[in-house]
């Protein structure tokens, strides 16, 4: 078969471009007028290996690349072109437009940006043949560096598609010109390719370029059909007008006719039977491969039964559509199928459409894919007119959480987690869900993820309810991030439970199915390793229990299931057994956990492991128990780390000669920094007090590093393990930024961000300037999306979300009955009187009499009416707060004796003291006020100390503004004193020593050989 090399058409030039082209891929049918008349650069007969034609494409784009670079240079400094200053501009390309990568000690400028700046500024208008030999060499070098991006290794630069996405793409995106090129495909070469993954990478390369280039694609009708059949997802996304035209998308809400048709069909199915189990397991908003359904242990059907039911659902009942174009058939729900899912209730029983509908989260797990898109709130956000709470002031999101829509008995997130049921009856590993009416499975997953602040260890001060059954583990996976939640039960039990959860049937069924791992493990590492996968897993990643029998999906799943069951069976035997059995089981569990985290890394799924400690004080009082706790992190965290595809444990710690001989050859980068394959979150009432002890424990692990590395005769990688305070300002700021961005709000400036964090800590904090990231995330999840991209996230928005939290979350320094009264007023649709508050809040009349006046004294509630008919409204932001947009009480009927507007925190404290009837000594507030003296003299004010101080933005103990404490550390949380530390393990030799080890066959392979 002849194959014409891809070269730019010499008859086409880049001087005449279509009017206002738009970036993207589009098909040009052969023989059409548009194909013949386009006066654009053309690359002919490209094959399925992108490395063969990408340089020709970049060469065709070179005029636009050069023009754009010169435009940006003028914007940076007009003198750049006038005085021929390319090198200063090379750094600006990264700093201003994110082109290239950050300079390092050994690579001051990115090779691409250096070459690009030199070529565009110094050689744009020259005739190459007229240059001197030396300058011609520089010209050729610069041109080759630009056109070689993505097809060869550049020192200090990424490779492949990553190289394009860090160089060409941001460069052209920063310019005003969208270039157009014509690309014709070599049909025979594409159809004859042995490995479609090679062709898939070529398709991906075209898609990446299409983000900034108008690509007109020419291929024969036969090749068009081949591409649609072999690369359906790519074809649907890029070569159809409106995405997938082969099936109708599942509607968001089923119509009455669809519900009626669904009822007539599935009402005849056997309750709890296989058909209903299969139907409930389908993805309501996407597709599932049939081979994944066959491997789903929750369906519990034979492969033959699934094939039969799938065909029956499609051909006889119109419940699903089958896409036969890919190698493995995919199925998706039709409108009738979506309606049918809504009618399936607990225990897979069907309910009539007129009966109460059951949420799908209660009948099936929503973990059908590891790549879920975040759901935005559907409700519109009304614009609050006052201070973030109360009647007429709460947004629609907050109003919807009134007592009429959310029962007072609705469990909190913590209550739901604690209610595990009995492990032996309800499952040792359970899907993470959430309290009905408050949080669904995705929201609960996202709420927990707010605790993770680093790829390391995060410590979160959080009251934790003990599990009903401490042997239960929860698992969850959305957006390519898996989470495991366990309760601390000692080092060995916790280790085995975490490992067991990651390798449970739930995770293999939904997160690690055949389509993700591959029938022959060929999808691991994004399919980039091709035939080297087995060597990488065994000799590089050091995945254990991996022989020839495990080198396919079924063998791997069966083997790990067997080892998992063996560990669980031994756990009960060794808890009271001898030390040797305990150590052996601990070693096996560590090995299996390291293998599991490496496997998740290979499929591109991040892992966060949550360890809940209900009684941190009790843990610390037992010296042996506490040391076991510290040793757990000392030995476990460093073992779950990787450098490229290599196990860090084998690189740094392993001393057994036979093990060292069986490892893959490797080379080090200039900065050989390893990554953890799992992140850890410890939650408990005083978890942050563990920080220094955990740091010391992990730091002591440095002495276990192989002696040859410690002595400097062998080079090792560097492993950094951050230990982070999850309640501090930096952590809370990240939670706010993440949700503001997700909801579509404008980027927050530093002042807006600090005001929002102050409100959160004033409302949720148990300590000054700190609060729960979980509570803050839960509040932000409940607010509606922004009306426009320019809308800022305001304190009123956040106050509305905070008002939806359970009463126990609000102002934790207040008595429980006071918080219940406050919560009742915050969510009320109208002002409430005494009897209504007592009834709705479930408090006594004496509690009402004791608390309402106190809430009024601090401005959190205000009165409407007088005498025996007084009613109340509530706000989380009192009117006197600098966070409020008012300068007087909000209600028109406020008493004339209400405090006058106060501009100073000490004036506010004085007025509050007066309203509480404390008769303060005036001298306390005269002149320079000593805050400690005020609270010592007026202990009844102490519960309001943090509330007032944080609203005014200072630490009342030191009278130091929070703004000044963080104004110089806005960029990274690690710069805020006392919030972050890191332990660094490992050592390295002189940079001249690059290669450490050769394989037995004397043919060492580098990390880069495997595109990791």
Q: Which two tokens stand for residue 911?
A: 């007025």
Q: How many CB atoms lie within 10 A of CB 91?
A: 18
Exposure class string for 338-350: b at 16+ Cβ within 10 A, else e: bbbbbbbbeebeb
Q: What pLDDT band is residue 673 in, cutting at 50, 70 and 90? A: confident
Kindly state the average pLDDT of the residues 63-86.
Answer: 78
Residue (of 64, 46, 208, 58) closest to 147 by Cα position: 58
Distance CA 883, CA 755 (A): 7
Say what the pLDDT of residue 903 is. Answer: 63
Residue 848 half-sphere exposure toward CB, CA atoms < 13 A = 19
Q: Which two tokens stand for residue 623?
A: 């010296």
Exposure class string for 442-461: b at 16+ Cβ within 10 A, else e: bbbbbbbbbbbbbbbbbbbb
Instruction: Please tell me the pTM assigned to this model.
Output: 0.73
Say what the pLDDT of residue 970 is. Answer: 40
Q: Which two tokens stand for residue 498?
A: 């975490």
Distance CA 414, CA 9 (A): 66
Q: Which two tokens stand for residue 685?
A: 């009432």
Question: In which region does residue 485 sit, left (phi positive, over 0), alpha (psi from -120 to 50) or beta (all else)?
Answer: beta
CA distances, 645 to each of 359, 543, 723, 999 (Å): 41, 11, 24, 15
Dihedral angle over CA of 1007, 1010, 1011, 1012, nearest 10: -60
Q: What pLDDT band is residue 539 in, cutting at 50, 70 and 90? A: low
Place of tokens 């006392």: 978
Kindly state the average pLDDT of the residues 622-636.
Answer: 93
Distance CA 82, CA 75 (A): 13
Host H or E run for residue 292: helix 290-295
Distance CA 801, CA 557 (A): 43
What residues have CB less than 8 Å from 981, skipping those under 6 apart? 691, 692, 695, 722, 723, 724
Among 233-242, 322-331, 550-559, 650-659, the minimum mean pLDDT is found in 650-659
Q: Which two tokens stand for residue 118?
A: 């030199």
Kindly state the average pLDDT of the residues 813-828.
Answer: 93
pLDDT above 90 (res 573)? no
User: What is the DSSP secondary structure assignment for residue 410, as one 8-state letter?
Assistant: P
Kindly state the average pLDDT of the residues 752-763.
Answer: 93
pLDDT above 90 (res 75)? no
- φ and ψ of 699, to 5 deg: -60, -35
Q: Which two tokens stand for residue 568?
A: 């669980």
In terms of Cβ atoms closer than 10 Å to its own Cβ (0-12, 13-18, 19+), residue 842 is middle
Does residue 397 contact residue 379 with C-beta atoms inside 8 Å? yes
Say what the pLDDT of residue 311 is. Answer: 92
Distance CA 338, CA 254 (A): 7
470-521 pLDDT, tens digit per residue, is: 999 999 999 899 999 999 999 999 999 999 999 999 999 999 999 888 888 8
Does residue 511 contact residue 605 with C-beta atoms inside 8 Å? yes
Q: Report helix, strand or coil for 528.
A: coil
CA distances, 310 to each of 283, 324, 406 (Å): 14, 12, 39
**pLDDT-above-90 percentage for the chain:** 29
Does residue 674 contact residue 642 with C-beta atoms inside 8 Å? yes
Distance CA 829, CA 390 (A): 8
Q: ∠372-376-379 over CA atoms, to 5°?
A: 150
Kindly state the average pLDDT of the residues 959-974.
Answer: 39
Q: How many CB atoms lie within 10 A of CB 496?
A: 25
Q: Report helix, strand or coil for 866.
A: coil
Say what the pLDDT of residue 975 is. Answer: 39
pLDDT above 50 (res 151)? yes
Among 64-78, 84-98, 951-965, the minimum mean pLDDT is found in 951-965
Question: In which region does residue 932 sit, left (phi positive, over 0), alpha (psi from -120 to 50) or beta (all else)?
Answer: alpha
Distance CA 972, CA 73 (A): 30
Dihedral angle over CA of 381, 382, 388, 394, nearest 10: -100
Residue (of 427, 451, 452, 432) closest to 443 by Cα position: 432
pLDDT above 90 (res 163)? no
Residue 486 half-sphere exposure toward CB, CA atoms < 13 A = 23
Q: Which two tokens stand for residue 3?
A: 């194959």
What residues have CB less than 8 Å from 699, skipping those under 6 apart? 983, 985
Does residue 873 contact residue 439 with C-beta atoms inside 8 Å? no
Strand order in the sheet with 288-289: 288-289, 330-333, 320-323
Among 216-230, 330-344, 378-392, 546-560, the minimum mean pLDDT is found in 378-392
When computed from its CA atoms, the radius of gyration of the chain, rounded to whole angstroms, is 32
Distance CA 506, CA 367 (A): 9
For 416-461, give the secondary structure using H, E and C: HHHCCCCHHHHCCEEECCCCCCCCCHHHHHHHHHCCCCCCCEEEEE
Strand runs labelled E in 708-850: 719-725, 832-833
Say what the pLDDT of residue 584 is. Answer: 85
Q: What pLDDT band is residue 576 in, cutting at 50, 70 and 90? A: low
Q: What pLDDT band is residue 991 in, cutting at 50, 70 and 90? A: very low
Does residue 420 contact residue 469 with C-beta atoms inside 8 Å? yes
- φ and ψ of 873, to 5 deg: -125, 160
In terms of Cβ atoms closer than 10 Å to its own Cβ (0-12, 13-18, 19+), residue 487 is buried
Strand runs labelled E in 439-550: 457-461, 473-478, 481-487
Say what the pLDDT of residue 193 is. Answer: 85
Say what the pLDDT of residue 28 is. Answer: 77
Instruction: Give 350-359 contacts, CB < 8 A, sequence gap 24+.
Output: 350/263, 350/266, 350/267, 350/269, 350/271, 350/276, 352/263, 352/267, 353/256, 353/259, 353/260, 353/262, 353/263, 359/436, 359/440
Kindly state the average pLDDT of the residues 62-80.
Answer: 83
Does residue 349 contact residue 356 with C-beta atoms inside 8 Å? no
β-bridge mates for residue 217, sequence order? 27, 183
Q: ∠509-512-514 over CA atoms, to 5°?
A: 85
Distance CA 570, CA 492 (A): 11
Q: Which two tokens stand for residue 993?
A: 């020593």
Distance CA 769, CA 725 (A): 13
- φ and ψ of 731, to 5 deg: -65, -45
Host H or E run for residue 762: helix 750-764
366-424 pLDDT, tens digit per residue, is: 344 433 323 233 333 333 333 444 433 333 333 333 333 344 556 899 999 999 999 99
User: What is the DSSP secondary structure assignment for residue 244, as one 8-state letter?
Assistant: -
CA distances, 790 to each of 288, 376, 743, 787, 885 (Å): 38, 17, 12, 8, 20
Start-to-end Cα distance in the chain = 33
Say what the pLDDT of residue 666 is. Answer: 63
Q: Which residue has the higher pLDDT, 260 or 703?
A: 260
Q: How many CB atoms lie within 10 A of CB 412?
A: 18
């Amino acid at each position: 078969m002849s194959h014409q090399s891809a070269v730019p058409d010499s008859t086409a030039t880049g001087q005449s471009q279509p009017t206002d082209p738009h970036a993207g891929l589009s098909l040009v049918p052969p023989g059409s007028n548009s194909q013949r008349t386009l006066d654009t650069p053309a690359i002919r007969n490209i094959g399925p290996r992108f490395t063969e034609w990408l340089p020709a494409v970049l060469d065709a784009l070179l005029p636009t690349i050069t023009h754009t670079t010169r435009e940006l240079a003028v914007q940076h400094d007009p003198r750049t072109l006038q005085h021929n200053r390319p090198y200063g501009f090379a750094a600006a390309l990264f700093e201003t437009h994110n082109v290239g990568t950050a300079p390092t000690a050994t690579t001051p400028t990115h090779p691409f940006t250096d070459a690009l700046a030199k070529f565009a500024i110094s050689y744009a208008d020259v005739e190459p043949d007229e240059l001197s030999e030396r300058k011609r060499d520089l010209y050729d070098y610069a041109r080759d560096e630009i056109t070689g991006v993505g097809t060869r290794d550049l020192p200090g630069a990424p490779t492949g598609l990553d190289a394009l996405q860090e160089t060409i793409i941001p460069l052209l995106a920063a310019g005003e010109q969208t270039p157009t090129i014509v690309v014709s495909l070599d049909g025979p070469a594409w159809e004859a390719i042995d490995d479609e993954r090679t062709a898939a990478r070529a398709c991906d390369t075209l898609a990446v370029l299409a983000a900034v280039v108008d690509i007109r694609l020419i291929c024969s009708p036969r090749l068009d059909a081949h591409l649609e059949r072999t690369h359906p997802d790519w074809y649907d996304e890029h070569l159809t007008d409106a995405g997938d035209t082969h099936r109708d998308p599942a509607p968001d809400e089923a119509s009455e006719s669809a519900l009626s048709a669904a009822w007539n069909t599935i009402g005849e199915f056997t309750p709890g039977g296989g058909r209903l189990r299969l139907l409930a397991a389908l993805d309501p908003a996407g597709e599932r491969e049939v081979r994944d359904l066959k491997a789903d242990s929750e369906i519990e059907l034979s492969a033959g039964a699934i094939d039969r039911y799938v065909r029956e659902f499609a051909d006889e009942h119109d419940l699903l559509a089958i896409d036969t174009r890919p190698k493995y058939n995919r199925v998706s729900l039709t409108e009738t199928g979506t309606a049918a899912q809504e009618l399936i209730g607990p225990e897979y029983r069907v309910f009539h459409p007129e009966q109460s509908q059951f949420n799908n989260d209660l009948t099936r797990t929503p973990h059908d894919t590891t790549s879920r898109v975040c759901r935005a709130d559907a409700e519109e956000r009304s614009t609050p007119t006052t201070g973030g709470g109360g009647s007429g002031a709460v947004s629609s999101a907050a109003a919807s959480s009134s007592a009429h829509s959310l029962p007072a008995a609705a469990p909190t997130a913590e209550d739901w987690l604690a209610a595990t049921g009995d492990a032996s009856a309800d499952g040792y590993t359970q899907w993470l869900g959430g309290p009905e009416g408050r949080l669904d499975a995705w929201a609960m997953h996202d709420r927990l993820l707010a605790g993770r602040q680093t790829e390391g260890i995060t410590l979160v001060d959080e009251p934790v309810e003990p599990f009903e059954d401490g042997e239960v583990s929860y698992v969850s996976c959305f957006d390519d991030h898996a989470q495991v939640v366990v309760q601390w039960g000692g080092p060995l039990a916790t280790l085995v439970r975490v490992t067991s959860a990651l390798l449970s049937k739930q995770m293999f069924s939904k997160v690690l199915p055949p389509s993700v791992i591959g029938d022959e493990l060929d999808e691991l590492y994004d399919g980039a390793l091709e035939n080297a996968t087995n060597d990488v897993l065994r000799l590089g990643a050091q995945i254990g229990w991996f022989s020839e029998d495990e080198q396919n999906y079924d063998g791997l799943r069966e083997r790990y299931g067997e080892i998992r069951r063996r560990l669980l069976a031994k756990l009960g035997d060794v808890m009271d057994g001898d030390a040797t059995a305990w150590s052996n089981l601990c070693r096996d569990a560590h090995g299996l956990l390291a293998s599991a985290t490496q496997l998740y890394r290979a499929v591109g799924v991040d892992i966060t492991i949550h360890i809940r400690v209900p009684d941190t004080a009790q843990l610390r009082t037992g010296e042996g128990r506490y040391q076991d706790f510290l040793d757990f992190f000392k030995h476990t965290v460093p073992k779950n780390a990787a450098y490229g595809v290599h196990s860090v444990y084998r690189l740094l710690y392993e001393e057994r000669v036979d093990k060292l001989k069986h490892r893959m050859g490797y080379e080090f980068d200039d900065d050989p920094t390893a990554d953890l394959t799992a992140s850890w979150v410890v939650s408990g009432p005083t978890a942050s007090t563990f920080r220094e002890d955990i740091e010391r424990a992990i730091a002591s692990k440095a002495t276990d590093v192989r002696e040859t590395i410690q002595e400097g005769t062998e080079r090792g990688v560097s492993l950094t393990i951050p230990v982070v305070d999850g309640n501090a300002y930096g952590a809370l700021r990240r939670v706010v930024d993440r949700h503001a961005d997700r909801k579509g709000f404008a980027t927050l400036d530093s002042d807006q961000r600090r005001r929002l964090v102050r409100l959160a800590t004033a409302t949720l904090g148990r300590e000054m300037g700190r609060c729960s990231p979980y509570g803050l995330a839960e509040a932000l999840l409940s607010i509606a999306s922004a009306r426009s991209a320019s809308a800022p996230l305001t304190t009123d928005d956040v106050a509305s979300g905070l008002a939806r939290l359970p009463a126990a979350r609000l102002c934790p320094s207040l008595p429980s009955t006071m918080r219940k009264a406050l919560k009742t007023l915050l969510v009320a649709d109208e002002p409430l009187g005494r009897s209504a508050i007592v009834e709705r809040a479930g408090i006594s009349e004496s509690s009402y009499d004791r608390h309402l006046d106190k809430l009024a004294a601090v401005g959190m509630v205000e009165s409407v009416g007088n005498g025996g008919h007084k009613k109340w409204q509530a706000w989380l932001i009192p009117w006197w707060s600098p966070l409020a947009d008012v300068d007087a009480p909000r209600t028109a009927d406020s008493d004339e004796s209400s405090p006058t507007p106060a501009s100073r925190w000490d004036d506010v404290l004085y007025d509050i003291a007066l309203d509480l009837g404390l008769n303060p000594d005036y001298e306390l507030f005269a002149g320079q006020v000593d805050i400690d003296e005020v609270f010592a003299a007026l202990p009844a004010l102490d519960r309001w100390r943090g509330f007032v101080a944080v609203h005014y933005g200072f630490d009342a103990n030191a009278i130091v503004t929070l703004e000044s404490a963080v104004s110089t550390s806005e960029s990274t949380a690690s710069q805020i004193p006392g919030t972050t530390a890191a332990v660094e393990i490992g050592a390295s030799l002189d940079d001249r020593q690059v290669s450490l080890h050769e394989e037995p066959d004397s043919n060492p392979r580098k990390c880069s050989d495997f595109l990791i």
